[in-house]
Amino acid sequence: MTFINKQRFLTELSKFLTFLSDDERQQVLMKFGEIFDAAPNQDELLGALVSPLKVTVELSRAYSRGGLQQALDRSVELSGVDLSAAPPPPSPAAESVGADIYAAIGSAVEEAFESAAEPAAEPAAPAPAESVPVEPAEPVPAEPIPAEPVPAEPVAPSPAESVPVEPAAPVPAESVPVETAAPVPAEPAVPEFEDTEPEEFFDEAADEAVPQGEYRAKPAALMFFILLFVPLGLVGIAVLLCVGAALIAVAAAAIGSGVFAVSLAFSGMAVFADIIMTIGVALVCLAAGVLFLWLALWFLIRSVGGLVRGILHLGKKWCYKEVSAG
Amino acid sequence: MKTIWRVVGLIALGALTLGAVCIVVGLITGGSIDRIIDALFANYDVDYYLKICQQFVGTLF
């Protein structure tokens, strides 16, 4: 159970360490691997670390202050584990088990990625650790790891499913302190941003794919259209302007009446009830004036603009013909 | 446009409601329309303005 928690902690931590490069992230994970190995009680260690997110925040602050070394030192501080008092280097079999931890993390994330890529596929079966090829560097015959088979976690409920991860290139064996010839798969890099918008909305190539034609004018139709529709359009615009002016006049009359009523209420009235009534009439007149004024402006904008656009559209349709560019 | 329509409508509706309330309150508290018309004709030369309006309409039609 402790091993599972450790594996999950490292997996979650590797997802959060996006501000580090692959090599730096690998070093931090190796450091935490050493810390977990040196810890006398891993449950207490996990309690001291609280959560991968909290560790990530602390590491981020330390990294911004002093770089990777500061982050590694901070990792040791957070854990409270004395690495100098760590037990002697483990045996080759133990090293293989230690290497399997990172291999299992990598395989678990890879399986999560594959299952996310294949939605119809069934949930990934637990991958036994024996499937990870581990070959010792020395000619000592490789021993299987029967002591602690490392089952990869079923990734079905893992949040990694919702985040498509891409496994990074394997880290060379020289950068791994564990002496094993097998390349340790690097922790998958979580993409920080994935563009899920359809490309056709922003892709200029999609616009270029639409055949662009040229328009050629038909002189006779153009002359006829200008002679006929320019005067008609002008007349139409004049009529619309007159209607708009009438609406503006009504609005002005209403607003003027309201102002007039207000002045009457405060100049020639003696009874309070009459003053209140006159102010009420003034407010009604002002409301109608504001409404008519905006109605006139809206009518002018929409009608005159629409008439001009309609005439131009009609002229383009009648007087121009489209010639393919090719 | 929709925003402007909404703002203008709200202003007009508010003024209209307030005006209606004022008229009703004035009528309830003893206001008289005849008295208001008398005050209007007593303070302003309304006939003059009516004549101007009639001349303007006569020139148009």
Binned at pLDDT 50, 70 and 90, residue A74 comes out as: confident
Same domain flag for B36 and B55: yes
Same domain as B43, residue B21 = no
Same domain, B38 and B26: no
Same domain, B36 and B22: no
Q: Which tens digits make up the pLDDT trace of B13-55?
A: 999 999 999 999 999 999 888 988 888 888 888 888 888 888 9
Task: Tell me the chain B residues in contact with residue A260 when contact means C-beta distances shorter than 8 Å.
Answer: 44
pLDDT at position A129 over 50? no
Q: Are A277 and B12 an interchain contact pair (Cβ–Cβ within 8 Å)?
A: no
d(CA A84, CA A104): 27
Q: Model pTM?
A: 0.42
Helix (H) or strand (E) holding A214: strand A214-217
What total number of domains does chain B contain? 2
Give the nearest chain A residue to B13 (CA atoms).
A287
Q: Which residue has the higher pLDDT, A171 or A292?
A: A292
Q: Please indicate, yes or no, whether residues B39 and B55 belong to a single structural domain of this protein.
A: yes
Question: Could you give the C-alpha distances from A234 to A65, A193, A312, A313, in angstroms and in order?
Answer: 73, 56, 13, 16
Whether residues B40 and B25 fall in one domain: no
What is the bridge-based pairing of β-strands A320-323 and A214-217? antiparallel
Contacting residues for A288 by C-beta, under 8 A, at least 6 apart: A251, A254, B12, B16
Q: Closest Cα partner for A152 from A186, A98, A105, A213? A: A105
Question: 3-state SS of A182-205?
Answer: CCECCCCECCCCCCCCCHHHCCHH
DSSP secondary structure code for residue A41 in this structure: -
Can you give the residue range of the structural domain that contains B39? 32-61
Contact A288 B31 (CB under 8 A): no
Return mean pLDDT, chain A: 71
**Residue range A186-204: average pLDDT?**
50
Same domain, yes or no: B23 and B39:
no
* Mean pLDDT value across residues A300-313: 90
Which pLDDT belongs to residue B28? 93
Range from A123-127, A184-188, A311-315 carrying the lowest mean pLDDT: A123-127
Structure tokens at A248: 């503006």
What pLDDT, on the 0 to 100 scale, is given for residue A294? 93
Of A171, A97, A172, residue with least CA distance to A134: A97
Nearest to A280 among B13, B20, B44 (CB): B20
The answer, for B6 touching chain A at a CB cutoff of 8 Å, is no
Q: Are residues B46 and B23 in the same domain?
A: no
**Percent of chain A with pLDDT strictly greater than 70:** 58
Q: Per mean pLDDT, which of A106-115, A247-256, A306-315 is the most reliable? A: A247-256
Nearest CA in chain A to B5: A294
ipTM of the complex: 0.86
Cα A29 from Cα A34, distance rounded (Å): 9
A259: exposed, middle or buried (Cβ count in 10 Å: 0-12, 13-18, 19+):
middle
Give A278's pLDDT tier (boundaries 50, 70, 90).
Answer: very high
Count residue pairs from A and B with Cβ separation < 8 A.
Answer: 93
For residue A200, name the pLDDT band (cuts at 50, 70, 90).
Answer: very low
Highest averaged pLDDT of the listed ranges A29-43, A244-258, A311-325: A244-258
Give the confidence band of A168 by pLDDT, cuts at 50, 70, 90. Answer: very low
Q: In the structure encoding, which two tokens stand for residue B30, read together?
A: 């003893």
Stretch A210-226: mean pLDDT, rounded? 76
Bigger pLDDT: B32 or A166? B32
State whether B2 and B20 are in the same domain. yes
- Give the nearest partner residue to B23 out of A281, A286, A290, using CB atoms: A281
Report which of residues A230 and B1 the model is more confident about: A230
Q: Do A267 and B36 touch (CB under 8 A)?
A: no
One domain, residues B18 and B40: no
Which residues in chain B are closer than 8 Å to A284, comparing Cβ atoms? 15-16, 19-20, 23
Among residues A234, A255, A240, A256, the alpha carbon closest in space to that of A297 is found at A240
Q: How far apart are CA A151 and CA A134, in angstroms?
A: 15
Highest mean pLDDT among A10-14, A188-192, A309-313 belongs to A309-313
Same domain, B6 and B17: yes
The pair of three-digit structure tokens given for residue A90, joined into one six-digit string: 């483990």
pLDDT band at A169 (very low <50, low <70, confident <90, very high): very low
- With a cut of 70, say whether residue A279 has pLDDT above it: yes
Put simply, the answer to whether A274 touches B1 (Cβ < 8 Å) is no
Quick one: which of A207, A214, A210, A205 has its CA closest to A325? A214
Task: State whether B2 and B23 are in the same domain.
Answer: yes
pLDDT attached to residue B26: 92
List of chain B residues whose C-beta atoms are within 8 Å of the C-beta of residue A268? 39-40, 42-43
Per-residue pLDDT at B19: 94
Q: State the nearest Cα–Cα gap between A282 and chain B, in angstroms.
A: 7
